[in-house]
Amino acid sequence: MRTRVGIIGAGPAGLLLSHLLHRQGIESVVLELRTREYVERRQRAGILEHGTVEVLRASGAGERMDRQGIPHQGVELRFDRRAHRIDLAAGTGGRSVMVYAQTEVVKDLIALREQADGQVLFEAEALSVDGADTASPSVRFRQAGAEQTLDCDVVVACDGFHGIGRRAVPDGVLTVSERTYPFAWLGILADVPPSCDELIYAHHARGFALHSMRSPQVSRLYLQVDPSDTTDNWPDARIWDELDARFETESGWTLGRGPVTEKSITPMRSFVAEPMRHGRLFLAGDAAHIVPPTGAKGLNLAVADVTLLARALSHWHTRQDETLLDAYSETALRRVWRAEHFSYTMTSLLHTDPAATAFDRRLQLSHLRYITSSDAASASLAENYAGLPVV
């Protein structure tokens, strides 16, 4: 089998890259370990930055997003039993975010690739990348019990944090920067209309809580829990009681309850592997970097990476000019590190660290009060949250 661009992974990074390349007349093959049903059902984040919305729209992938997504002009920070609104649009010259689940973005992109007769091979497990530092790299993969080789001009690993792409880079080439956190998120989906119009990020002595949403009928809620905790310890009633305690306000705000349809615990991690390239092998999305979810940046970084990469590959393809490909890693990493810093800051600002001293807690509250009372500080949060321009 032969293609120009071999893509490992049909998450948002791999699918959008394949779609963008197709629009530039460049063919690709996407190899995906899981079934289509699995990929389309997987619950992930749901906030699209302003620039992500623009990229999807401009590429013809925004039609359902524009019908069903919910634009948000602000977010709430809740602490000291009070609500404080951060106006995203005012602080950023009108930029805002869209609430539209990652899983819906994935469905839309798979449908587009299908309509264009694009090759997305499901249940095709990439086993190794060979010849990354030659002019003809290849991916060995297994599908339906048979091993095959996909020969390519370039390989792009969009296979997430646990994929094989990053591991194909020889030892000593990548520099890894990493941080783990002493908390995890317990996330639920519930069949109940959201109790708010905008997202609520709540800081509380009992731990962080987040109220997000998927639609006018479905709420998405998160609780900070211990990383060693399991969902068995969290029957639905305990989750709702804990959410009530952490979201409580002095004005008597109430949280609507409904049937819980999904429940899972996700660890939190910051991770960057650089450079995001080795010869003809490129890394994009979670394969190269992870952020804790508090800044809602994971999906948006994946979109920014592949937007750069599609442009660079197109330049190379049409003009035999490798300048943009050579600049890819450095250009992408500038945004990655901005998002790493923002995600770390939001995480540290809002969570309750079991090891924090009284001094740390006072600093945290002072920072929250500053952000919610200074136009300059809240504009800075808004600028990072709504997202910097993609290129």
Residue 220 interacting partner from ligand APR, ligand PHB, none (CB closer than 5 to 8 Å by kind): ligand PHB
C-alpha to C-alpha distances, 381 to 78, 98, 345, nearest whole angstrom: 15, 17, 10
How far apart are alpha carbons 262 and 240 in whole angstroms? 14
Q: Can you tell me the distance from the alpha carbon of 120 to that of 137, in angstroms, rounded to the nearest whole number?
A: 19
Which candidate, 123, 120, 125, places its Cα nearest to that of 110? 120
State the binding string over 260-289 for ligand APR (x if CB under 6 A, else -): -------------------------xx---
Alpha-carbon distance of 254 to 257, in angstroms, equals: 10
Q: What is the x/- site pattern for ligand PHB, positions 31-70, by CB under 6 A?
A: --------------xxx-----------------------
Looking at beta carbons only, is 149 or 215 nearer to ligand PHB? 215
| Separation between Cα atoms, residue 62 and residue 100, nearest integer Å | 11
Minimum CB separation of residue 47 from ligand PHB in Å reads: 5
Separation CA 338–CA 231 (nearest Å):
33
The torsion angle over the Cα atoms of residues 57, 62, 67 and 70, rounded to 10 degrees, is -80
Check: CB of residue 383 under 8 Å from CB of residue 92: yes
220/280 with CB nearer ligand PHB: 220
Q: Which is nearer to ligand PHB, 170 or 256 (CB)?
A: 256
Q: Which does 13 bind (CB under 5 to 8 A by kind): ligand APR, ligand PHB, none?
A: ligand APR
Largest CA distance in the chain: 65
Pick 121 or 356: Cβ nearer ligand APR: 121
129 binds ligand PHB (CB under 6 A): no
Distance in angstroms (rounded) separating the CA atoms of residues 2 and 153: 9
Choose, by CB under 6 A, the member of 72, 220, 278, 280 that binds ligand PHB. Answer: 220
- Decide: 77 and 86 in contact? Cβ < 8 Å: yes
Binding flag, residue 296, ligand PHB (CB under 6 A): yes
- Our finding on whether 32 is near ligand APR (CB under 6 A) is yes
Q: What's the min distance (Å) between Cβ of 30 and ligand APR?
A: 9
Identify whether the C-beta of residue 105 lies closer than 8 Å to the C-beta of residue 45.
Answer: no
Structure tokens at 135: 């002019």
Measure the CA–CA gap between 183 and 209, rounded to whole angstroms. Answer: 12
Amino acid at position 189, single letter: L
Contact 87, 94 (CB under 8 A): no
Pick one of ligand PHB, ligand APR, none as the site partner of residue 34 (Cβ within 5 to 8 A by kind).
ligand APR
Residue range at the interface with ligand PHB (CB under 6 A); choices 84-92, 138-146, 292-300, 304-312: 292-300
Q: Which does 46 bind (CB under 5 to 8 A by kind): ligand APR, ligand PHB, none?
A: ligand PHB
CB of 116 to ligand PHB, least distance (A): 29
Q: Which residues are known to be catalytic?
A: 72, 201, 293, 297, 385
With contact defined as beta carbons under 8 Å apart, do 222 and 191 qualify? no
Residue with the shortest CB distance to ligand PHB: 212
State the nearest-atom distance from the C-beta of 45 to ligand PHB, in Å: 4
Quote the tokens at residue 73: 């002009």
> How far is CA 268 from each of CA 157, 347, 354, rounded to the nearest angstrom?
22, 9, 15
CA distance 166 to 312: 20
Should residue 212 be labelled a site residue for ligand PHB when binding is judged by CB under 6 A? Answer: yes
Nearer Cβ to ligand PHB (3/212): 212
Q: Does residue number 302 form part of the binding site for ligand PHB (CB under 6 A)? A: no
Q: Which of 62, 137, 160, 295 binds ligand APR (CB under 6 A)?
A: 160
> In angstroms, rounded to a whole number, what is the distance separating the alpha carbons of residues 17 and 193?
34
Residue 125: contacted member of ligand APR, ligand PHB, none (CB under 5 to 8 Å, by partner type): ligand APR
By C-beta, is 126 or 281 nearer to ligand APR?
Answer: 126
Tokens 């449908």, residue located: 111
Residue 186's binding partner among ligand APR, ligand PHB, none (Cβ under 5 to 8 angstroms by kind) is none
Binding site for ligand APR (CB under 6 A): 8-14, 31-34, 39, 44-45, 102, 125-126, 158-160, 163-164, 285-286, 298-299, 302
Binding site for ligand PHB (CB under 6 A): 45-47, 199, 212, 220, 293-294, 296
